[in-house]
């Protein structure tokens, strides 16, 4: 079988592990030929192909990024995009397609599957907000990086008696904020799931600094917003592709806190550092497991499904079931983050 493979949306550490697994398992176990499409759906629409054989995947397991390249392009949102994808698939005689991506790429996958293409998807996003899977590739590395950052911020916060704000990624869900906040011992975690009341934040900081502490660390997800009707107004700033402008909420929160409390306050925006560098062992393992499961699934004739981690088991879930849903952080996890202040 000729199997196509692409990685779409924002890159994450662990993508190369998935690519490597698809090629090794696809070639070695099933005798498939794997064809890579560069830069996500863009490459599939443009016919930008590269062969994927064992020499192409040598020494990639520990590397970040994606050897295929990626892009934020969605064929169903482009005039003639789906037709261009179908034409390339026909030209390259691709019988099944494996797409590794986050919500945008998976939505595109379900549209292309509706057009009759055999597709198996693999979830990746540092935001960990893909519905239907306990974990997505890249999340563990991002949490590890963010936790290390919070650890490092601790010592300088304490030396200078400062309020330190650490802004992490997480557009619609605060998984990185909640997990790095708990693991790093942050005093407050602000996530999109629970809009915050700036007056309560200020009261908490004043009380803590009066009572026993000289510094505080707040981890804020980029998608966090103040509660409606509270005394801070803020409009989430979006870039040209609907992405959140990095640093916007962190800087604004820092300015509000400094003004309202008079505490010396600093802001650190982690940004794309969270998506770069070496994947953790967990992400290499998850990428490898999902890659094997995806190529096994296409070989068994599956289509319109996504590999998912449920507990410690890799299962297949219908793409139709996850469309349009966001997996948010459950309130009990946010409560843990709040309780340990």
Sole binder of ligand F6P in the list 42, 107, 162, 171 (CB under 6 A) = 171
Locus of tokens 């970040």:
64
Asked if 169 touches ligand F6P (CB under 6 A), the answer is yes
Contact indicator for 201, 231 with CB cutoff of 8 Å: no
Judged by beta carbon, residue 97 or residue 142, the one nearer ligand F6P is 142
CA 327 distance to own-chain centroid: 12
Query: In the numeric block, which tokens belong to residue 212?
Result: 């026993």
Instruction: Compose the 12-51 pattern: x for residues touching ligand F6P by CB under 6 A, - for all others.
Output: ----------------------------------------
Within residues 184-223, the interface with ligand F6P by CB under 6 A covers 222
Judged by beta carbon, residue 229 or residue 242, the one nearer ligand F6P is 242
Sole binder of ligand F6P in the list 127, 187, 193, 283 (CB under 6 A) = 127
Sole binder of ligand F6P in the list 21, 126, 182, 333 (CB under 6 A) = 126
Query: In the numeric block, which tokens belong to residue 11?
Result: 């890159």
Sole binder of ligand F6P in the list 7, 16, 66, 125 (CB under 6 A) = 125
Chain residue whose CB lies nearest ligand F6P: 169
- Shortest distance, position 127 Cβ to ligand F6P, whole Å: 5
Strand 305-310 relative to strand 313-318, pairing: antiparallel
Judged by beta carbon, residue 114 or residue 251, the one nearer ligand F6P is 251
d(CA 85, CA 41): 8
SS3 260: helix
Q: Name the residue among 295, 301, 298, 327 with its Cα closest to residue 135.
A: 327
Judged by beta carbon, residue 32 or residue 72, the one nearer ligand F6P is 72
Tell me if residue 127 is catalytic: yes
State how far the alpha carbon of 264 is from the alpha carbons of 27, 58, 297, in Å.
Answer: 58, 50, 55
User: Considering CB under 6 A, how many residues would be counted as binding ligand F6P?
Assistant: 13
Query: Any idea what the Cα angle at residue 177 is, between residues 312 and 289, rounded to 5°?
Result: 25
- Shortest distance, position 171 Cβ to ligand F6P, whole Å: 5
First to last CA, the chain: 55
Asked if 102 touches ligand F6P (CB under 6 A), the answer is yes
Judged by beta carbon, residue 4 or residue 101, the one nearer ligand F6P is 101
> 11, 103, 127, 283: which one is catalytic?
127
Asked if 243 touches ligand F6P (CB under 6 A), the answer is yes
d(CA 3, CA 32): 7
Judged by beta carbon, residue 10 or residue 226, the one nearer ligand F6P is 10
Contact indicator for 41, 47 with CB cutoff of 8 Å: no
Query: Any idea what the Cα angle at residue 113 is, between residues 107 and 118, rounded to 5°?
Result: 130
Could you say which DSSP state residue 137 is in?
B
**Interface with ligand F6P (CB under 6 A):** 10, 72, 102, 125-127, 169-171, 222, 243-244, 275
């Amino acid at each position: 079988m000729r199997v196509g493979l692409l990685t779409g949306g924002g890159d994450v550490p662990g993508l190369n592990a998935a690519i490597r697994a698809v090629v090794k398992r696809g070639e070695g176990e099933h005798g498939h030929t794997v064809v890579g499409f560069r830069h996500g759906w863009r490459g599939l629409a443009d016919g930008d192909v590269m062969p994927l054989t064992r020499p192409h995947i040598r020494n990639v397991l520990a590397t970040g990024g994606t050897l295929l390249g990626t892009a934020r392009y969605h064929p169903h949102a482009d005039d003639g995009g789906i037709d261009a994808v179908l034409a390339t698939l026909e030209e390259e005689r691709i019988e099944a397609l494996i797409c590794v991506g986050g919500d945008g790429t998976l939505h595109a996958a379900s549209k292309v599957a509706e057009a009759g293409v055999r597709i198996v998807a693999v979830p990746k996003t540092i935001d960990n907000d893909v519905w239907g899977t306990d974990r997505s590739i890249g999340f563990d590395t991002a949490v590890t990086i963010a936790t290390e950052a919070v650890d490092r911020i601790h010592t300088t916060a304490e030396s200078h008696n400062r309020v330190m704000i650490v802004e992490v990624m997480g557009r619609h869900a605060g998984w990185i904020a909640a997990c790095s906040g708990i693991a790093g011992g942050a005093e407050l975690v602000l996530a999109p799931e629970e809009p915050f009341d700036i007056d309560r934040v200020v009261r908490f900081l004043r009380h803590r600094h009066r009572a026993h502490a000289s510094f505080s660390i707040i981890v804020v997800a980029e998608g966090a917003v103040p509660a409606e009707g509270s005394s801070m107004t803020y409009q989430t700033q979006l870039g040209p592709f609907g992405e959140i402008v990095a640093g916007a909420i962190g800087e604004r929160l820092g300015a509000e806190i400094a003004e309202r409390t008079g505490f010396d306050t600093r802001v650190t925006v982690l940004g794309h550092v969270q998506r770069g560098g070496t994947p953790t062992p967990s992400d290499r393992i998850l990428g490898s497991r999902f890659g094997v499961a995806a190529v096994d699934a296409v070989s068994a004739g599956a289509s319109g499904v996504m590999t998912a981690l449920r507990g410690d088991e890799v299962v297949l879930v219908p793409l139709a079931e996850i469309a349009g849903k966001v997996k948010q952080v459950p309130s009990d996890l946010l409560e843990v983050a709040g309780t340990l202040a």
